Amino acid sequence: MAVVRCNPRANFAPVTEERSDFDLRVRGRLPAGLQGQYVRTGANPEGDVNPTRHPGLASAGMVHGTLLGGGRALGYRNRWIRPPSIPKHLERELLLPAGGGAAALFHHAGQLHATAELGLPCRLSANLDTLGLCDFGAPLPAGAAPHVRKDPKTGELHVLAYHFEAPYLRHHRIDRRGHLLESRDLEWPRPSMVHDFALTESHLVVFDLPVLFSEDAMLDGQPLPYRWHPDAGARIGLLSRHGPVDTQWFDLDPCWVSHLAGARREDTRIVIDMITAPAGFHRDCWGEDEGVCQLMRCTLDPRRGVALPEVLDADAQEYPVRDSRLPYADSRWLWTTALETDADGQLPAGRCLYRHDLDTGERIEVAFPDTCLGGELTFVPADARAAEGKGWLLGYLWNPEDDTSELLVLDALAPAAPPLARVQLPQRVPFGTHGCWVPG
Ligand SMILES: [Fe+2]
C-alpha cells in the first residue's frame, strides 16, 4: 500500500463512489467573500482501467464540487457526468456520446455546463446532477469544442465546434442570456482538432495544428480518433469575429497548442500567449507526455504575413489562468501550474504554481504546501468591481504521502503568503482537467 501511495501516478486511479458530505474541516480562514461552489472536472472511467495511467480524454467524466459560504466549507460532492442519449438526428454528427468525456466547465447565463472533447455540452445542476444536453436554444450541429471564450465587455459567449466532415469548423455566438445569436461556417481546410482558441476585440485566433481526424483510428474503435501528422504543417488563422468570414493565415512550425492564455492587439500586430508542446496525440490517444509544455508567445505581423514565436518560459507548465473579467490587453497577471515529470513523462499536476507578471516578464514560484501535487487553479474575484487579480486562487491538491485531497485557497496577488485556507476533502480527488467557480 505504501508503495502505491508514494507513486504520484496513483492519483490517476478513478474513484468509485459518488459522495455527498457536509461541514468540512478547514485549516486557516475561508474568506467570507467566497460564496459559491468550486467545481472541477476530470476523467473518471468506470470499470477495469490501469490505475496508474492517464485514463484518456474520452473517458467518462466526473465533477467534484466544494460549496463555500459564510466562511465555512459547507459541503463536498462528486458526480459522474451522465449524458442522456443523443437525439436521432445528431447521431451521425457526433463521434462520441454527448458530454461523454470530461474536458472543461463553464458558467454562463446562470448555468453550469460541462464540455467534452467531441460532442454536445451538458448542463449540470447546483447539486452536480446532469440535467441534459445544451444547445442554447438552437441547433449546435457539431457540438462544441471544450473551451469557450466570453467577451468581457459584451458578456457574449463564443463557441467553436470542430468536426471530421466539412464544414470542419463552426463559430457560434451566444448572448449573455444564453441564446444563440449567430452560427457561421468558418473557412477551415481540414479536420484538425481545435481544443482551445483566443478572442481579441475584433478577431478569433484559431490554431490549425497537425492533429487530424484519423479514419483508421476511428475504425479501430479509438475513442478519440485524432492523430499527430507533423508533415501536414501548422498555421494560425486570424478570423473576423463578426459578419463575412475573412481569414488570414500564418505558418507555424508543427507543434501542439493545448491552451491559450490570451491574445491582444499591439499596434498592427497580434500577440498570443499560450502553452505549447513539441507534439500532441502522437505517442498515444490521450495526448499527454509529448514533450515539455512551455509558455510561448507568438506575435503575428499581418502586414508581413509572418508569425514570430518565442519561448517566454521554458519550464514545464500548463493551465494558464487569469482574471478573465478583463480583456487580455489589460491583463498583467497570469498564473500557471508547474508540471511534474517522471520517467514516463509529464503528469497533469505539479508541486508549485508560477505567477507571471506580463508587464515585467518576472515570474515567481510558489510551492504547494507539504508534498502536495496540484493541477489547474481557478481565479475568483473578490467582488465584481475588484481590481485585476484581487481575489483568490482555488484548486484541488493531492498529497501522495497520505493519499488525501484538499481544496487550497490562496490570495491571488500574494500567493507566496501562507494559504488562506485548506479544506480537507472526504475522499481523494483524482488528477483532472479544468475548474470553474459558480457564484452564489
Ligand atoms: Fe483544456
DSSP string, 148-198: -EE-TTT--EEEEEE-SSSS-EEEEEE-TTS-EEEEEE----S-B-----E
Region of residue 415 (phi > 0: left; psi between -120 and 50: alpha; otherwise: beta) = alpha
CA of 196 to the centre of ligand 1 (A): 7
Q: How far is the CA of 253 from the centre of ligand 1 (A)?
A: 21
Ligand 1 centroid to residue 115 C-alpha, Å: 10
Q: How far apart are CA 373 and CA 394, in angstroms?
A: 14
Maximum distance among all alpha carbons in the chain? 61
> In angstroms, what is the span from residue 247 Cα to ligand 1's centroid?
24
Mark 224-240 as b/e (b = at least 16 C-beta within 10 Å).
bbbbbbeeeebbbbbbb
**28 C-alpha to ligand 1 centroid (Å):** 31
Q: Determine the pLDDT at residue 88.
A: 65
Q: How many CA atoms lie within 13 A of 84 on its CB side?
A: 12
Calculate the alpha carbon distances from 330 to 152, 264, 265, 337, 389 in Å: 11, 9, 11, 22, 11
Query: Separation of 169 CA from ligand 1 center, angstroms?
Result: 18
Q: Grid cell 507513486 — which residue?
A: 7
The alpha carbon of 304 and the centre of ligand 1 are apart by a number of angstroms equal to: 31
CA of 147 to the centre of ligand 1 (A): 6
Distance between Cα 292 and ligand 1 center (Å): 16
Q: How far, in Å, is the centroid of ligand 1 from the Cα of 258?
A: 6
Residue 434 Cα, ligand 1 centroid: separation in angstroms?
7
Could you tell me the distance, in angstroms and rounded to a whole number, from the CA of residue 230 to the centre of ligand 1?
A: 21
Residue 93: the pLDDT is 58
Distance 337 CA to ligand 1 centre (A): 13
By residue count, the chain amounts to 440
Cα of 58 vs centre of ligand 1, distance in Å, is 13
Q: Is the dihedral of CA 239, 96, 262, 176 positive or negative?
A: positive
Which residue ranges in the chain fall short of pLDDT 50? 1-4, 97-99
pTM of the model: 0.95
